[in-house]
């Protein structure tokens, strides 16, 4: 329910189209009690990039098991678990001579309540229909 993560998903999708020759990596960090890996948020970011690139990308979770050159059609997804980190997500676009990184940090779980309130306020002013958090970012 984070508004800013949904905004980030939109931004990285737009960047993926503009930086289509880049290698793309997602790094996500959460507290040491988190069970799922990668996080749902990392997958939202990967899916938004993949959708922008017409579904041509593959997700690579275990590069350490591979002994081959990195594919241009992969999105690397890396999970870090430690301490009491609420959530940090970075999407990095690597070209031959530079890199571009967007990072979102959550410092308090209050952002999820704030996002829910933003969504409720948005819905209050809409016609009946089906909406999701992406509609807030348009």
Q: Which of 10, 34, 78, 88 is catalytic?
A: 34
| Structure letter (DSSP) for residue 37 | S
Q: Is 34 annotated in the active site?
A: yes
Which of the residues 10, 18, 30, 72 is marked catalytic? 30
**Closest alpha carbon to 89 in 33, 25, 1:** 25
Using the 8-state DSSP alphabet, how is residue 39 labeled?
Answer: -
Which has the closest alpha carbon to 126: 113, 112, 138? 138
* Cα 37 to Cα 27, 61, 78, 80, 119, distances in angstroms: 11, 9, 9, 9, 27
Strand partners, 94: 23, 99
**Among the listed residues 48, 60, 57, the one whose alpha carbon sits nearest the alpha carbon of residue 104:** 48
Q: Which residues are catalytic?
A: 30, 34
């Amino acid at each position: 329910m984070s508004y800013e993560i949904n905004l980030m998903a939109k931004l990285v999708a737009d960047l993926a189209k503009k930086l289509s020759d880049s290698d793309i990596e997602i790094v996500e960090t959460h507290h040491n009690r988190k069970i799922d890996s990668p996080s749902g948020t990392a997958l939202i970011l990967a899916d938004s990039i993949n959708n922008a690139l017409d579904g041509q990308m593959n997700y690579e979770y275990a590069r350490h098991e591979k002994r081959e050159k990195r594919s241009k059609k992969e999105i690397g997804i890396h999970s870090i678990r430690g301490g009491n980190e609420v959530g940090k997500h970075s999407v990095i676009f690597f070209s031959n001579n530079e890199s571009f990184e967007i990072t979102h940090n959550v410092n308090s779980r209050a952002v999820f309540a704030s996002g829910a309130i933003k969504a409720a306020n948005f819905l209050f002013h809409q016609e009946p229909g089906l909406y999701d958090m992406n509609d807030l970012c348009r």
